[in-house]
Amino acid sequence: MNREVDVTTATNVAPRASATTEHFDVLIVGAGISGIGGAYHLAQQCPGKSFVVLETLESFGGTWLTHKYPGIRSDSDLYTFGYRFKPWVGPPIATADEILKYMGEVIEENDLDQHIRYRHRITTATWSSRDNLWTIEAERLDTGESVAFTANFLWMCQGYYRQSEGYTPEWAGMKDFKGRIVHPQTWPQDLSLKDKKVVIIGSGATAATLLPNIADDCGHVTLLQRSPTYFIPGRNANELADILRELKIDETWIHEIVRRKLLHDQDQFTRRAFEESETVKQELLAGVSAFVGPEVTAKHFTPSYRPWRQRIAFVPDGDIFQAVNQGKASVVTDEIERFVEGGIQLKSGELLEADVVITATGFNLNVLGDINFVVDGKPLNFADTVTYRGMMFTGVPNMVWVFGYFRASWTLRADLIADFVCRLLNHMDAKGVKKVSVALRPEDKDMPLSTWIDPENFNPGYLMRGMHLLPRRGDKPEWQHSQDYWREKDELPLIDLDDAAFVYAGGPAASKAA
């Protein structure tokens, strides 16, 4: 299935009546990589459950649908970013269109489109312990009418940042600038960069993707960064996968073998990054130096932080470094003093002339989809809760949230959480209960609480800006998001669903009242 066909299908769905409230066993929020994966696992592992997927956008894909900037691609390999149940057969680093095609095939092959409602923006979600139900109110963006749903269980797969707007800092003089300021997340389709002087502000994966993909069109493009980021340049190919294909091995086997090899290598790399951080740093810098030389690497591509503190993006064929080395692009490491009519005045005194400024400066954290949550008549302040393994929250019944990994592919955790949700739903049925929540056990009552993630562990700007909005974590493994796939892949399937942290109610077999 290609994306164009699915968009047409999605936007031509006949309006549904709003006079009644539809009920489902499970309501999935979002039709991005997590939501589509969740729908697949639910259909496979809980075939008796009714479910619906509500999506604000006109089609599936989330990030891969909304982001339209030139060259948009994954920064994780698709053997691990792809689902475990669907072989990936393309290049490891994939374009948005390739990822959308892959997701469309998952939907078509598993008849999931019947469960998805596009252009449905959820406004409120209200839990009632009296009825043991969520009531979800939404607006149909194609008709403007209000619709309502009830659900026994809510599965939050909406992602972690606001799709409608990216993060752009406020710099002095921005109104004085006579050119155009663009954020990649809301890339204008009428933007022409031909022969223009372009400045990209940023140093992450988005900036690294944009630069080589616009360098040939621009008069000149300059990457302006306050501080450098680590990258891994390399061929956009997987040698093991290529050899196995030459041997005519089945693609299902190839996917599993290559996936396991990559995960093993990533585990080793992550552990070395912690234990041998200086050695790993020098190895990463050597990879960049091979393209631009040691002098440019030292000046513009040597980060001040340790390799494991922020995500490291793969750069296929070192394309950003090739553009710099060939003179198509420049890199400036400095800070912005202010915008002026013709560009950006730097604190060093240098003036960067610009016709267009692209702010690849990150995004805004989205907490629970910007939905108003109410639990038993009280507005939910997410920051007042404590997280259970980064997916459930004290005082919030019958809800699981998908938040992926920082140092491994997001989808790895989406698959693990899907298994957990399905096992939990089946366990509730076996117990004859309608409600489950998590609560601190007696031995957890005096447990020290801290921020969602330790800034010494991982500290990207978007997370630091939004940390006050997120739940707290404890000092025990059960009460934190470990960010360690290689540990969680073994731990999550073995979670004891009758542990005292799980509180069941709403049925004769309930272990205790919630």
Q: Is the pLDDT of residue 36 over 90?
A: yes
Q: How far apart are CA 325 and CA 329, in angstroms?
A: 8
C-alpha to C-alpha distance for 380 and 366, rounded to whole angstroms: 15
pLDDT of residue 258: 97
Q: Is the pLDDT of residue 492 over 70?
A: yes
Kindly state the tokens that stand for 329. Answer: 């692009």
Give pLDDT tens digits for 141-154. Answer: 999 999 999 999 99
pLDDT of residue 13: 36
Give residues with Cβ within 8 angstroms of 397, minimum separation 6. Answer: 127, 129, 132, 375, 435, 436, 437, 514
163: pLDDT strictly greater than 80: no
pTM over 0.85: yes
Q: What is the pLDDT of residue 386?
A: 97
Per-residue pLDDT at 459 exceeds 80: no
Q: Quick one: pLDDT at residue 466?
A: 80
Q: How many helices and strands, by DSSP H and E, does the chain display? A: 13, 25
298, with CB counted inside 10 A (0-12, 13-18, 19+), is exposed
Residue 76 has pLDDT above 50, yes or no: yes
Strand 399-401 with 146-156, pairing: parallel
DSSP state of 14: P
472 contact partners, CB below 8 Å, separation of at least 6? 383, 385, 386, 387, 449, 450, 451, 452
Residue 16 has pLDDT above 60, yes or no: no
The pLDDT tens digits for 424-452 are 999 999 999 999 999 999 999 999 999 98
**Element holding 344 (H helix, E strand):** strand 343-346
- pLDDT confidence of residue 508: 65
pLDDT tens figures, 81-95: 999 999 999 999 999
Residue 52 forms beta bridges with which residues? 27
- Which residues, 6 or more positions from 165, have their beta carbon under 8 angstroms from its beta carbon? 183, 185, 186, 364
Give one word for 86, left, alpha or beta, with left for phi > 0 and alpha for psi -120 to 50.
beta
Given this model, what pLDDT does residue 147 score?
97
Predicted pLDDT at 12: 36
* Domains of the chain with CATH codes: 3-163+366-505 (3.50.50.60), 168-361 (3.50.50.60)
Q: Which of 372-376, 489-493, 510-514 has the lowest mean pLDDT?
A: 510-514
| Three-state secondary structure call for residue 164 | strand
What pLDDT shows up at residue 512? 42
pLDDT digits (tens, 9 = 90+) for 338-372: 999 999 999 999 999 999 999 999 888 888 888 99
How would residue 336 be classed by pLDDT, with cut points 50, 70 and 90?
very high
Q: Where residue 182 falls among pLDDT bands split at 50, 70, 90?
A: very high
What is residue 483's predicted lDDT score, i.e. its pLDDT?
85
Q: pLDDT, tens digit, for every residue of 209-234?
A: 999 999 999 999 999 999 999 999 99
What mean pLDDT is reported for the chain?
91
Q: Which helix (H) or strand (E) holds 156?
A: strand 146-156
Evaluate if residue 20 carries a pLDDT over 90: no
Secondary structure of residue 274 in the 3-state scheme: helix
- First CA to last CA distance, the chain: 45
Per-residue model confidence (pLDDT) at position 467: 85
Supply φ then ψ for residue 383, to 5 degrees. Answer: -70, -10
Radius of gyration of the chain (CA): 24
Tell the residue number behind the tokens 């997987």, with chain if given: 238
Instruction: Compute the average pLDDT of residues 303-309.
Output: 85
Helix (H) or strand (E) holding 314: strand 313-316
213: three-class secondary structure by DSSP? helix
Q: What percent of the chain has pLDDT over 90?
A: 81
Reported as a pLDDT band with limits 50, 70 and 90, residue 482 is confident
pLDDT confidence tier of residue 514, bands split at 50, 70 and 90: very low
The Cα angle at residue 327 between residues 322 and 331, in degrees rounded to 5: 80
The tens digit of pLDDT for each residue in 460-474 reads: 777 778 888 899 999
Residue 296 has pLDDT above 60, yes or no: yes
Per residue in 379-403, pLDDT (tens digit) is: 999 999 999 999 999 999 999 999 9
Residue 509 has pLDDT above 70, yes or no: no
d(CA 74, CA 90): 12
Q: Give pLDDT, residue 19.
A: 55
Mean pLDDT confidence for 86-115: 97
Which range is least confidently modeled, 40-54, 227-241, 360-374, 413-427? 360-374
Residue 60 has pLDDT above 80, yes or no: yes
Q: What is the mean pLDDT of residues 34-42?
A: 98
